[in-house]
Structure 1
Amino acid sequence: MAFQNLLIKQSGTIQYIIINRENKLNALNNITIEELHNAIKHAFNDDSVGGVIITGAGQKAFVAGADIAEFEGKDIDEGREIARKGHKLVFDFIANGNKPVIAAINGYALGGGLELAMACHLRIAADNAKMGLPEVTLGLIPGYGGTQRLTQLAGRGKALELIMTADIITAQQALEFGLVNHVVESDKLLESTEELMQKILTRAPLALASVIRAVNSVGKHGFETEIDEFSRCFGTDDFKEGVTAFLQKRKPDFKGK
């Protein structure tokens, strides 16, 4: 599958999706949004892919935001469609995916870029990364899930502060606020991200998908969803293999069935 604004690389069962608009600081334009959807959908449906790492090309930016030039002249209905399309094709699509997705934040993650990182299930940031939601400086608010996911990660007070001030924060501050899981040296970012993904991929794939669904249901019948997902696992071959391996004191060989 050929893309104009993405690079796709495979490392074992890990697929890298690299946003490749370095001269535009990897900003998300319409073409990139559509290509991300197609790439992620393909990865979710490809049995050879266990998990996805999303990062940006170059050293300056993960994604510096949406391509604001495409917003010029748009009216209320068109603005609603921009946000709704982004949610459907990329942001909610990643968050509700059946495989783990980790953002490797290698520079600026601003606006839509930070929203993309927050839609991923985990985030690892280079120590020189900068993050923020500066939309109010444009007379906007975050429209790709930023108000919701930042609140879930950092809490209501900190989310309101960061969004209303439009402050750009460091990777270390993001770690302190709960916005990222780990901060590593920039030259070890992909290595560290891949190590975390490899660890995750030793676990049962169907159970990982159940974890994502259960955690995403927090606040929305979460306990019932957990019960449903827990019970569903009992019907999988991976559950039988996991229990057998535990009793035999060996490592399990999960097949995702």
Structure 2
Amino acid sequence: MNFENILVDIANGLAKITINRPKKLNALNSATIAELSSAFKTLEDDRNVKVIIITGSGEKAFVAGADISEFANFSVEEGGKLARLGQESLFDLVENLSTPVIAAVNGFALGGGLELAMASHFRIASDNAKMGLPEVSLGVIPGYGGTQRLPQLVGKGKAMELIMTAGMISADEAKDCGLVNHVVAQEELMPLAEKLASKIMRNSSVAISAAIRAVNDNFKDGVNGYETEITEFGDSFGTEDFKEGTTAFLEKRKPEFPGT
């Protein structure tokens, strides 16, 4: 896959997407969002890809926000279309991907950058990371799911504080409030992401996809996540991965999941 704004590397079942706009601190513009959407869809269709890691190039930023110059003169209608297109084409896509997505936050993750990290299935951060949703300081609100996913992750009160103050928090503060799972030195960030990916890849990709759907349904209006869990649990009994997993357990050996 060849792109102008992102790099994609695939090896041994692990795909790494690197947002590569270092001069712009990897800010998201429309072209980058379109490329990310295309890359995620392609990787989702690749059965050999078991885990995706997304990060930013360099040591300063994961994504330092959206490219404000693109929409500073937008109308009300154009602003609404911008948010809807972004949510549907990328942020909702990532959240509902059946392939696990780990965000390796290296440096600033602000605005759309934090929203992209929050759309990922979980997050780890380097100790120099700074995170926040500064949109209200520009007279606008988060438009790529930030007002919805941040409260889910850190609670309503903390989310309200972060959004209304437009402030940044450190990696350690982000870990304390549940926004990220782990904080390590920058040179340890990708090794940790790869270690976690390796652990995930030992397990059934079919079962993991089912678990993602069940967890996500808990946060959807009008959807009973418990019912999704029951259905997905039952469906698991009809998979080859279930047969292999249970047989391997009984035979006291490591399973070799076929992914079906």
The C-alpha deviation readout for 1:28-72, integer Å capped at 9, x for no partner, is 000000000000101000122111000000010000011111112
Correspondence 1:222 to 2:225: yes
* SS state at 2:191 partner: helix
Identity %: 58
The C-alpha deviation readout for 1:199-218, integer Å capped at 9, x for no partner, is 01111000000010000011
User: Which consecutive residues of structure 2, in runs of 5 or more, have no partner in the other structure?
Assistant: none
Following superposition, the deviation at residue 103 of structure 1 comes to: 0.3
- Give 1:73-152 correspondences, 5 Å limit: 73-152=73-152
Whichever residue aligns with residue 246 of structure 2, its letter is V
Q: Which residue of 2 aligns with 1:236?
A: 239
Aligned partners of 2:176, 2:125: CA distance in 1, in Å? 12
Aligned partners of 1:69, 1:88: CA distance in 2, in Å? 22
Q: Which residue of 2 aligns with 1:15?
A: 15
Aligned partners of 2:152, 2:138: CA distance in 1, in Å? 24
Divergent runs of 4+, >4 A: none
The C-alpha deviation readout for 1:164-197, integer Å capped at 9, x for no partner, is 0011000000000100011111111000011001
* SS state at 2:90 partner: helix
Following superposition, the deviation at residue 83 of structure 1 comes to: 0.6
CA RMSD of aligned residues (A): 0.7
Whichever residue aligns with residue 36 of structure 1, its letter is L
Aligned partners of 1:111, 1:127: CA distance in 2, in Å? 19
Q: Which residue of 1 aligns with 2:2?
A: 2
* SS state at 1:9 partner: strand
* SS state at 1:252 partner: coil
Aligned partners of 2:103, 2:147: CA distance in 1, in Å? 19
* SS state at 1:62 partner: strand
Q: Which residue of 2 aligns with 1:162?
A: 162
* SS state at 2:109 partner: strand
Whichever residue aligns with residue 31 of structure 2, its letter is I
Aligned partners of 2:85, 2:161: CA distance in 1, in Å? 27
Following superposition, the deviation at residue 77 of structure 1 comes to: 1.0
Aligned partners of 1:167, 1:54: CA distance in 2, in Å? 24
Aligned partners of 2:228, 2:47: CA distance in 1, in Å? 25
**Greater mean alpha carbon deviation, residues 106-115 or residues 44-53:** 44-53
Following superposition, the deviation at residue 88 of structure 1 comes to: 1.0
Aligned partners of 2:190, 2:214: CA distance in 1, in Å? 28
Following superposition, the deviation at residue 18 of structure 1 comes to: 0.3
Q: Which residue of 2 aligns with 1:173?
A: 173
Aligned partners of 2:72, 2:140: CA distance in 1, in Å? 12
Q: Which residue of 2 aligns with 1:207?
A: 207
TM-score, length basis structure 1: 0.99
Following superposition, the deviation at residue 12 of structure 1 comes to: 1.4
Q: Which residue of 2 aligns with 1:247?
A: 250
Following superposition, the deviation at residue 76 of structure 1 comes to: 1.1
The C-alpha deviation readout for 1:116-152, integer Å capped at 9, x for no partner, is 0000001010011000000000001110010111000
* SS state at 1:235 partner: coil
Aligned partners of 1:154, 1:237: CA distance in 2, in Å? 37
